[in-house]
Amino acid sequence: MAYLETHGVGKRFTLHERGGDQALALSEVSLAIERGTLVAIVGPSGCGKSTLLQIMAGLISASTGEVCLNGRPITAPPFEVVYVFQQYTKSIFPWKTVWQNVAFGLQNRKGLDKTTLAVQCAEYIRLVDLAAFENHFPWQLSGGMQQRVAIARALACQPDVLLMDEPFSSVDAMTRAGLQDLLLRLWQEFSLTVVFVTHDVDEAVYLSQRVIVMSATPGRVVGDIPVPLAYPRDQLVTREAFEYIDLRRQLYQRIFPSERAAQRQVA
C-alpha cells in the first residue's frame, strides 16, 4: 500500500446554488504515490489538477472515491500535508510582513521555541532570496517575490507531504532554476513526498521521478511516465542528457497528440 493513494476520485461541481447544471471536473482518478517520491502532474488548463490536489490536501471533498494517507481516509486537512495555492497572491496575508507570513506556518505547526522559530524563519527567507525584504508587506513586493514568500512559508514547515500547485509560475527563469534546485535539495534532505503541478513539461521532467499526464473534460489520468534520470540533477548536465530530451519528446507527444499530428500534416 502506498503512502498517498487516491481511489477512483471524482469531483462534480454544482454550477448553480439550486442544483441543476453540474460540471464533472474529475473522473475516476486512481493514483498511488510512494512515500518520499517526487511526482509531477501535467495537463491542459482546466483539466482538474488544482481540484485533484485540493482533494488530496483534504481542503475539498471528493464526490466519489476517497483519498488515503498512510492507509487512513482523509476527511480533513491532515497535519502531515501542506498545500501551496496556485493563487499565491490571495494565499499570503496582506496584514503580515514577509517575516510574519513565513512564520505563520511554523507557529501553527509545532511547539517551536521562539529562537528556533526565528532561526528557521530567517533561514528559509534567505533561501528564497528575500532576506532584504523581511519587514516588507506583500503589496510592497513583486508577483514573483510574493510567490517566493508562499514557497518559503510551506517549505519552512518541512511537512511530510508537500502539494505544490504551479508554485513557480510567476518567477523569472533564473529564479525558477534556483527554486527548482532548492526544492530538490530539501526533498532529499528531509525525504519529503512532493506532488507538483506544472504547465511546464521541462520542469516536470527535470524535477520528478514520475510524471502523471491528465486530460480534460472530464479530468482523468491518461499517462503515468517514469523518469529514470539520476539525482542529483543539474540544470546543465541533466537537461542535455539524451534520456532527458527523449522523455521530454515522449511527454509532448502524449500531451499534445492531436496538435503534433496536425503539424505533421502541414509539414
Partner 1 sequence: MKLGALLQSRMSGFALLVALLALWELSVRTGLVRLVSWPAFSSIVRAWFKLIAQGEMLRHLGHSLERLALGYALAVAAGVLLGLLMGYFPAIYNFLEPVVEILRPIPSPAYIPMAILFFGIGDRMKVFMIVFACFFPILLNTCSGVKAVDPVQVNTGRTFGLGSWQILRQIILPAASPYIFTGMRISLAVSLMLTVIAEMVAGNNGIGLFILLAQRSFRVSEMYAGVITLALLGYVLNVVFVQIERRVMRWHVGATTMETR
Ligand X SMILES: Nc1ncnc2c1ncn2[C@@H]1O[C@H](COP(=O)(O)OP(=O)(O)OP(=O)(O)O)[C@@H](O)[C@H]1O
Which listed range, 24-32, 71-79, 164-172, 255-263, lies at the site for partner 1 (CB under 8 A)?
A: 71-79
Instruction: Verify binding: residue 48, ligand X, rule CB under 6 A.
Output: yes
Instruction: Verify binding: residue 22, partner 1, rule CB under 8 A.
Output: no
- Which one of ligand X, partner 1, Mg ion, none interacts with residue 180, CB within 5 to 8 A by kind? none
Q: How far apart are CA 8 and CA 27, in angstroms?
A: 7
Strands, E assignment, the chain: 4-14, 22-33, 38-42, 64-69, 72-73, 81-84, 161-165, 193-197, 210-215, 220-226
Q: How far apart are CA 20 and CA 156, in angstroms?
A: 43
Q: Which three cell numbers stand for residue 211?
A: 510524471
C-alpha distances in angstroms, 76 versus 9, 38, 58, 81? 16, 23, 5, 11
Smallest distance from ligand X to CB 1, Å: 26
Tell me which residues in 98-157 interact with partner 1 (CB under 8 A): 104-105, 108-109, 137-140, 157
Instruction: Verify binding: residue 86, ligand X, rule CB under 6 A.
Output: yes
Q: Residue number with the shortest CB distance to Mg ion? A: 50
- Which one of ligand X, Mg ion, partner 1, none interacts with residue 45, CB within 5 to 8 A by kind? ligand X
Q: How far apart are CA 172 and CA 207, in angstroms?
A: 17
Which listed range, 48-56, 95-103, 204-212, 253-261, lies at the site for ligand X (CB under 6 A)?
A: 48-56
Q: Which of 93, 118, 229, 256 binds partner 1 (CB under 8 A)?
A: 93
- Residues 6 or more apart in contact with residue 267 via CB below 8 angstroms: none
Closest of 36, 65, 74, 55 to residue 208, by C-alpha: 36
Residues that bind Mg ion (CB under 5 A): 50, 86
Instruction: Verify binding: residue 79, partner 1, rule CB under 8 A.
Output: yes
**Checking DSSP bridges between strand 72-73 and strand 193-197, what pairing results, if any?**
unpaired
Of 37 and 86, CB closest to ligand X: 86
Tallying the residues shown for the chain, one arrives at 267
Instruction: Verify binding: residue 14, partner 1, rule CB under 8 A.
Output: no
Of 49 and 233, CB closest to ligand X: 49
- Which one of partner 1, ligand X, Mg ion, none interacts with residue 137, CB within 5 to 8 A by kind? partner 1
81 exposure class (CB count in 10 Å sphere: 0-12, 13-18, 19+): buried
Residues that bind ligand X (CB under 6 A): 13, 15, 23, 25, 45-51, 86
Residues that bind partner 1 (CB under 8 A): 54, 57-59, 76-77, 79, 81-83, 85, 87, 90-91, 93-96, 104-105, 108-109, 137-140, 157
